[in-house]
A and B are shown apart, each in its own frame.
Chain A
């Protein structure tokens, strides 16, 4: 491949953002601005689909590699994809246009700036999943903080400043230790190129500390218990599109990082720290599910459910079983779709009623039936009903976990029950029951764009629920290779 397809994927949204930057910032321009942003992101989505089609699923090594000198004799700009990262890229390019369509009702002021922030965010997120050099990865990983900080801070709710600061400082604090680790890796091995590092391996005596440094960053971003507290705040205060990006893609960066870097670079340390991850994951699953049960705020409830779901993901990754890791990746993709959909469904009624409290609602089913059906689908997908993509992920993860550690798997299965409990209870309180609030009688059902967005999300959730083969085929070889490499490295040390 001579055409730098990955770089164009990364750059295209930024170019679109630049284009927007030079349009006049007037209210009359809003439609044009939106179409430009939408056009850019849709083109990017099509490119990524082309990437998926031309991607060779039978090869485990990285494809579409671009390798250019960047900082002379020190760091190369290296990007490439394998079966694992390509799915996240497609998730990113798929979610972004939906976010852009969804801004219709929620963003009133400075629409242009908002879309610029979203597009730049997209560039950085794609960059994270493509990067094959630790420094390039760090660069994209951290750079994403800037647009997200602004999205929460400028367009967020009442406590937006607090949430934006908390989000930024928590993540930054986690990440700086990773930077120390990355530079140390450079001095230990002489390179930050991931592919080369896979071959060379890192000396066992350094692995534990380096693993912990990477862990500190990924744990905050995942977020794992007990450093998850920034997430509910950020989610609640962010505008709908921001919450969607945060839940659907930003959280996945950490899961991806665990697979790509923690397992790939530090197999010995990963083996040592697996109990820690198990413990934290199980706590996250059970504890945050219980917290989710008690929430009065819908967005907060979904935020806590995200923490619980990400607990499943980290659990699956560190089972080091084929099923476990595949399950985690599918769970991440599925959670990306489902949580995005749930935030959007909450956004729909929030735009109409300006309240996120569960107690405001009740009896929606008789007024807005279309909405209620879609909401039910997403709620069921979130709790992992067979036939939705959520089921495949959770099932594979638990299968992997049972192979590795019976107790952990049993405890994690409890989380599935709790997940069903809080999701169904939420649904019951919002959609069923008596219609008490008089104001609710006036609200309208889904308009055309909302209907379109939610069906776009519902389609893959159902499709992959019944037929997950396209996903599994894409990741299978890469995951197998990862596990092979892991066990070889482990055996040789």
Chain B
């Protein structure tokens, strides 16, 4: 095996998981040690990934079942960085709920491993393996606060619906395998042509399964409940990391095995995109819980990402990847703020709890202001550029309807973001929240807010990295 170094990150992370598991079981009171070691593991994995795969153009391994290219290395790096940030800002939240156990970091690590396998997969079986590994870890994470009814409910809901979608995916995979005679993406791509009528069912099943995973409308029903019920840090993880992985797989499915079937899937993706953008914007208006609101807003944002994918062009894919990268930063910032709403060891999650925040916490409110306007896509904040790239790509393909619906839904979405800003800035103040936040929380909020505010000054750097991703 000459190219084993390319999957060194996966090998390293899986060995570390086993080691940490053994360490955690045999050493007493080792949760802090395991926690810190996992951070260290993610850091090293990131470095290995950057070192070994960042400059690789495209190499396939293991009989072409694993692919290392710019897409996979970029997405893996984002996944790892997000995982790292989620871990470091989780600790104080977990300690408050007495959940600071060894399982948490290990589950996060295993799901990251699963996602890395998914991201690199070039084969239906490898893909499914990665998907199940990450899903199983996520089911447990959703129920992590098992003393709370809502958390258990969230986990169960997530398990049932996710298992259903995995079933649909598998069914689709078997149909595709039946028609192409292969599980390898490249071979499928050569075998498939649009004449096969029943094949459309295979594509639809696979897309439906993937749409479940990224919570695109109309397969989004699980998201608000799961997001609301799960512990906040897990919700943060849900809104960022699995979406990155699932999106990568989405891109790969559309543009490698189904690349010849553009006519069949383009309409589906456009529909998913428009439905998600509109529904995400409209349904968020009535929400009172911040986590539910974030769930709907993330549905809307997935809609924009899908709009980029629907274009069937390299620019479109790149704009989607840029979008999700910027979205992840905004999301991290938003959750960091949410984790700061703590008073007497209790976290507050209702929108009304933000009332008049600007009087007592001017800095925190200013950050929220920037984040929310950025999420609404108002220039000169980062969120505007994310949308700008998407619509540039969409309009390049002359998809005017998609662009206009998308932009109109940003106006609707602006309404509920403005509503939160109104509550923060225009309403009467409530009691003060605690100020003693962990250093990491402050760090991640400051860093992400600065990125959002100053992105307009250095827009080229991200574009440069992303523009190396050429799938078509």
- Residues in A lying within 8 Å of B, measured CB to CB: 25, 69-72, 113, 135, 138-140, 142-143, 145-146, 149-150, 153-154, 160-161, 164-165, 168-169, 172-173, 176-177, 179-180, 183-184, 186-187
Contacts and interface: CB of A to CB of B under 8 A. Distances in A.
Interface of B: 362, 369, 373, 378-380, 384, 388, 391-392, 395-396, 398, 400, 403-404, 407-408, 410-411, 414-415, 418, 421-422, 425-426, 456, 459-460, 463-464
State the 3 A-B residue pairs at the shortest beta-carbon distance, nearest first: A176-B407, A72-B460, A139-B379
A125 to B, nearest CB: 14
Contacts of A72: 460, 463-464
23 contacts: A25-B362, A139-B380, A142-B378, A142-B379, A142-B384, A143-B378, A143-B380, A149-B418, A150-B425, A160-B426, A164-B426, A165-B415, A165-B422, A168-B418, A172-B414, A173-B408, A173-B411, A177-B407, A179-B388, A180-B395, A180-B403, A187-B396, A187-B398
B222 to A, nearest CB: 31
Contact of B379 (A25, A69, A143): A143
A183 B425 contact: no
Contacts of A70: 459-460
A153 B464 contact: no
Contacts of B464: 72
A177 B404 contact: yes
A113 B7 CA distance: 52
Given A143-B378, A177-B404, A187-B396, A169 B426 contact: no
A180 B463 contact: no
A71 B386 CA distance: 13
Contacts of A154: 425-426
A173 B376 CA distance: 13
Chain A CB within 10 Å, residue with most, of B395, B414, B422, B459: B395
Nearest to A75: B459
A72 B400 CA distance: 25
Contacts of B373: 146
A179 B407 contact: yes
A187 B378 contact: no
A206 to B, nearest CB: 11
A470 to B, nearest CB: 34
A139 B410 CA distance: 16
Nearest to A138: B379
A187 B394 CA distance: 11
Contacts of A149: 418, 421
Nearest to B422: A161
A150 B365 CA distance: 13
Interface of A is mostly: helix
B407 A180 contact: yes
Contacts of A153: 421-422, 425-426
A177 B408 CA distance: 8
Contacts of A143: 378-380
A176 B384 CA distance: 11
Contacts of B456: 139
Contacts of B392: 183, 186
A179 B421 CA distance: 24
Contacts of B400: 180
Contacts of A138: 379
Nearest to A173: B411
Given A143-B380, A177-B404, A179-B391, 10 more contacts: A71-B463, A139-B379, A142-B384, A146-B373, A160-B426, A164-B422, A169-B411, A169-B418, A180-B395, A183-B392
A261 to B, nearest CB: 17
Given A71-B459, A138-B379, A142-B379, A176 B408 contact: yes
A160 B425 CA distance: 12
Nearest to A149: B418
A164 B419 CA distance: 11
Contacts of A186: 392
B395 to A, nearest CB: 5
Given A70-B459, A143-B379, A176 B411 contact: yes
Contact of B414 (A160, A169, A177): A169
A412 to B, nearest CB: 33
Contacts of A168: 414, 418
B460 A180 contact: no
A172 B422 CA distance: 17
B378 A145 contact: yes
A173 B460 CA distance: 28
A140 B378 CA distance: 10
Nearest to A154: B425
Nearest to A72: B460
A165 B407 contact: no
B309 to A, nearest CB: 18
Given A146-B378, A160-B426, A161-B426, A180 B414 contact: no
Contacts of B369: 150
A176 B387 CA distance: 11
Nearest to B459: A71
Contacts of B391: 179-180, 183
